[in-house]
Amino acid sequence: MIFAANFKTNHTRSSTAAYLKQLAKTIAPKRAEDRVMVFPPATALDRYEGDFTVGAQNAYPVQNGAVTGEIGLEQLEEFDIRTILIGHSERRELLGESQEMVAKKFSFFKEHGFEIIYCIGEPLEVREAGEEAVKAYLFAQFEGIDLSYEKLIVAYEPIWAIGTGRSATTEAIASTHAALRSKVTVPLLYGGSVKPANITEITAIDNVDGVLVGSASLDVESFSEMILK
């Protein structure tokens, strides 16, 4: 299983360092085959010691240059960051990141050999329109994305389940992941209100190879509990 923590705009540089120091200790007894990933805010990127991978939540597809407010490859290379989240719904929805831009980022970081967690997910009105509508919406988010990329991980995160405390049902996750499995052979993560209370149920679903966790990952005890369950 893959356990990925997305801090979003939470934690500082010092609280991230304290968190990761603690995480390294608490996950020492984890199953050897499980992988842990943490995506802190850009200001907290650094080299950290522990059995986890630190990745970037976002970066602009440039080595460096005139892109005010963004970070590029150079700022990630400084800390040997080789993993990135691309396509998160908050970037698509709040920051207006188009499929074209998402695909451009994907190609750039693929060319540079990054491991990519590529996020997809539908809004509530699409979910309410039924399974076929969900599939069409999600498959459209694969436009311009090389699904055969060997360092790809796909994260399915229904937008209506993110940060709402309302996870998708086991049935909805199972059927959506089965549909995604017909398109990709890479690991499939589920994200959307994953927490200690539902982790066992979610990780037991067919075609779920891991989870991407927001809110419930902010506390190191809570995230560790999910990993060790």
The correct pick among 61, 158, 192, 210 for binding ligand PEP (CB under 6 A) is 192
Q: What is the distance between the terminal CA atoms of the chain, rounded to a whole angstrom?
A: 11
Quote the CA–CA distance of 150 and 53 in Å, as a whole number: 17
Is residue 213 involved in binding ligand PEP (CB under 6 A)? yes
Cβ atoms of 191 and 211 within 8 Å: the answer is: yes
Nearest to 71 by CA among 38, 105, 47: 105
Cβ atoms of 79 and 48 within 8 Å: the answer is: no
Is residue 116 involved in binding ligand PEP (CB under 6 A)? no
Size of the residue set binding ligand PEP (CB under 6 A): 13
The correct pick among 214, 224, 226, 227 for binding ligand PEP (CB under 6 A) is 214
The correct pick among 141, 193, 207, 224 for binding ligand PEP (CB under 6 A) is 193
Does the annotation count 157 as an active-site position?
yes
Choosing from 90, 97, 157, 177, the catalytic residue is: 157
Nearest to 23 by CA among 37, 13, 34: 37
Is residue 15 involved in binding ligand PEP (CB under 6 A)? no
Residues in 145-184 that interact with ligand PEP by CB under 6 A = 157, 162-163
Active site residues: 88, 157
